[in-house]
Structure 1
């Protein structure tokens, strides 16, 4: 993809994040923050700009330590993505803007770069199960049209986006449950996530 790529990453309030991990015997807010910071750290080398949309001051503090911009926006996932998209699109009318989920603690920079390079026009990466979406990319200068939520892969395909399926398992492996987390650990967790889990590993 020839145009510059900017990414928006939505992060919900940590107290409400990752509720399905409640049985994993971990500090859920700390783990959700670690997920987000590891995801953003892995994505930074791929994107010209990374904008995190969050209302949580703890997330904003963590991002400042990484040198990553955050902006307060709406809490709903698609609403936050539309807000972040509008901010990034205003800065560069011709860029590719991508929506990246914040729960990819095993994400590898090289795999994200491969997926972005493979995109031709508006595209999305389905999750491991093939039903959700971990990454959505606009065309250069085009709309994002996020439809995240249940069945988002089918919704994005129906809206004309092309599926990106290739050698990037870490990009497809979002974490919602304890079983997901175990599988992500097999791929290799980011350092912040590993540090949060180390007392119980």
Structure 2
């Protein structure tokens, strides 16, 4: 099953507010970009991902991410996370109304392409989601082919997606469940092993993860 993914991103200086203090203030935007770069590098290395649409608050501020093979578009007038996901899904569906569209967070720096492929396989064409490691948030939401994505991201999104009929995926998928919102989350993904962009920002040896 091939999937087209929507990934939203704030301006790097505004993103990941709860992560502030994990590195010096001047390095924070670079860390936010690195988290996204490692997420996108894993995604675009997956044979099951057809297109990746990055919906950005400021496309110029994240323009360097285009070299990873993603398309970058401006976020819609309604500047909310769910609006960004809907906007991206609508653009993708204009080109292929029957495609499988997914919503993925941009803060998964330990992501392995294998975990992503396992999630797609378990979903098996159903509207489904992957809860974060705490079990309350959502890192990935998949639509059924040609069906609405209906994103409900925000506090308690795992419960909201389940209540809306999406199937919670049960495989371990450790790298896909490990998003980064806090310094504690950052410590967790460092234990898993982060990609080369985040590793460079944190002064760690390069990790070879995208298999």
1:87 equivalenced with 2:91 (yes/no): yes
- Give the TM-score taking structure 2 as reference length: 0.90
Name 1:14's counterpart in structure 2: 12
Name 1:52's counterpart in structure 2: 54
On the 8 A contact 1:93/1:141 being kept in 2, the answer is yes
* Aligned with residue 99 of structure 1, among 82, 103, 123: 103
Alignment of 1:65-84 (within 5 A): 65-74=67-76, 75-84=79-88
Instruction: State the 1:58 CA deviation.
Output: 2.3
Instruction: Show CA shifts across 1:141-195 (max 9, x none).
Output: 1000000000000000000000012131000000001110000001110100000
Please state whether the residue corresponding to 2:13 is helix, strand or coil: helix
Alignment of 1:1-201 (within 5 A): 2=1, 4-26=2-24, 27-44=27-44, 45=46, 46-56=48-58, 57-59=60-62, 61-74=63-76, 75-120=79-124, 121-198=126-203
Instruction: Show CA shifts across 1:91-138 (max 9, x none).
Output: 111110000000001000111111111103100000000000000000
Instruction: State the 1:64 CA deviation.
Output: 2.1
User: What value does the CA root-mean-square deviation take over the aligned residues?
Assistant: 1.2
Flag as ranges the 4+ runs of structure 1 deviating above 2 A.
none
Q: How many residues align?
A: 196
More helix by share: 1
Q: Structure 1: which 5+ runs fail to align?
A: none
- Mapped partners of 1:164, 1:31: distance in 2: 29
Q: Structure 2: which 5+ runs fail to align?
A: 205-211
On the 8 A contact 1:126/1:165 being kept in 2, the answer is no
